[in-house]
Chains A and B, each alone.
Chain A
């Protein structure tokens, strides 16, 4: 078995709250193997986005603290000096966000953005960078790239903008691409195009991909492994097949059941999970899902660990040893 590309251990992200620190991420661990696609799913407030922002040093809030370990190709990212981290971000780890305009400036052309990305990390001439930009736009499927390279972001549709952002992300052949809700703002037919594109790029660039999303369909379509998050922790992890075919955690089961499907039997009533996802400041001690869980019992006042053989779950129902 090869070395993991990216290994996160006991990640904690906390913010200063009105009444003491608020833990947005509370002991998250996972690994990404080379060439693997990891899907991270969860609802609002599960900590799925803030965890990756935290370990890449992208949280601006001065009151935020990030602890734990995040080893990327043998180097520790947490505590890494800003300068060094900046060279890792963009070149070795690229990010794509939900709203492509987060990454694009309306006053510059699409080509400028890509060329700038290349020139920030490599010393090549403007002309060569522009040439690379055109190649990348062609690769992500922008029609007529030699002309479109001089277009401004507003002249692109939403799907084309996201393609341009992916072209920027790929400009330096990153080893890891982190895509945070990359298709959420897009229509379903455009989403299909972007998902296909991401999978194709894994083949051609050999990048590992981490997709953060609320949409389990997206994960099922493109990921090899899934990490289900709730209340700042991973509650279940495994291959897509393991997690979606035989979900272990009651939260995963509830979430899967509440998605209205386009095929299969049309249920009279959708099964629901009572209550709402909890805010990180109101998280109970013990299992965060316990207040909404139909299978709650005495043991749930203690935090279950993420355990298992390959297919992991943080629930006392599946834990090998239940506390007395």
Chain B
């Protein structure tokens, strides 16, 4: 089901300046994304997981060019879009859309649902008003909203319905790639499942490709074909979802998975088999990154060279990428 490379990121770096730098000199920076290279293949869902501050959302925003990258290269459908101007980017935008986390703040409260979904069509001059109205009705139907609901305002909807509106808006221009940034984390469990199923249905019907950013490891496993695990701005492991979850190769992935609280429902799959690995301390300051492997201060297996040499993201025989000097066997 996966095919050619739709989006390719090469060594993407995004730094944010922080206050405190002397005038005229470069101040300290937050290393939000610190050299990420990855490919998103047509038709797949690439999940990006990590804890808060690991740079997963910033990466997602950079890849759709919502924010300038500090360095690196982003290619979408073979075209380098890293430095395209606003005007030059305009024809690229329809192919590359975003769904945001918070359905309460990402929708304009003063516009009806119909107007919200129609806006990208109007901006990109996709047809007459009558045609646009028909398209909007069609899209709303796809996401499980009725045509009558087009005249209502976001506040009249529950969180799950609002997120459907956000998804409808992202579909308006018939994108190839949708970057979804924590699209279900504000929703109740029973609603979350409905929205995740909607993502799956739309992918099947429209052949969409997703970059799915989330912190919930269960959610990411559910939707993803491949998964990238991020820690402090870097991808530490990237591979097929099932392999990453069943046999994590990076000690951080292993610790992260072991920390997820399981519902012991009596089935063997849910009974925790491994001891929980409780990581000591907190995530280090992204302004002043640790030397070598940035995970070494918290890694139970760190050795001397982990403190000095940064492990490259290397590919093993099965195509899984791991950035660790001593990957788990």
Contacts and interface: CB of A to CB of B under 8 A. Distances in A.
A153 to B, nearest CB: 15
B53 to A, nearest CB: 9
B188 A188 contact: no
B263 A216 contact: yes
A255 B266 CA distance: 16
Contacts of A258: 189-190, 192-193
B257 to A, nearest CB: 6
A261 B282 contact: no
A30 interface: no
Interface in A231-264: 240-241, 244-246, 254-256, 258-264
A150 interface: no
A214 B197 contact: no
Contact of A263 (B160, B262, B276): B262
A116 interface: no
Interface in B210-234: 215-219, 221-222
B269 A263 contact: yes
B265 to A, nearest CB: 5
A189 B51 contact: yes
Contacts of B282: 157, 159-160, 190
Nearest to B259: A192
A193 interface: yes
Contacts of B190: 43, 254-255, 258, 272-273, 276-277
A215 interface: yes
A138 interface: no
B78 interface: no
Nearest to A257: B193
A258 B256 CA distance: 22
A217 B264 CA distance: 8
A41 B314 CA distance: 43
B291 interface: no
B197 A272 contact: yes
Contact of A260 (B194, B219, B270, B281): B219
A188 B218 contact: no
Contacts of B153: none
30 contacts: A44-B188, A160-B282, A187-B283, A188-B215, A188-B259, A188-B260, A189-B256, A189-B259, A189-B279, A192-B279, A196-B276, A220-B264, A220-B265, A221-B261, A241-B266, A245-B266, A254-B190, A255-B189, A258-B190, A258-B192, A258-B193, A260-B193, A260-B218, A261-B263, A262-B218, A266-B222, A266-B241, A270-B197, A273-B193, A276-B191
Interface of B: 51-52, 158, 160-161, 188-194, 196-197, 200, 215-219, 221-222, 241-242, 245, 255-267, 269-270, 276, 278-279, 281-283
Which 6 A-B residue pairs are closest in the complex by CB-CB distance?
A264-B269, A217-B261, A258-B193, A260-B222, A187-B51, A245-B266
Interface of A: 43-44, 143, 157-160, 187-193, 195-196, 214-218, 220-221, 240-241, 244-246, 254-256, 258-274, 276-277
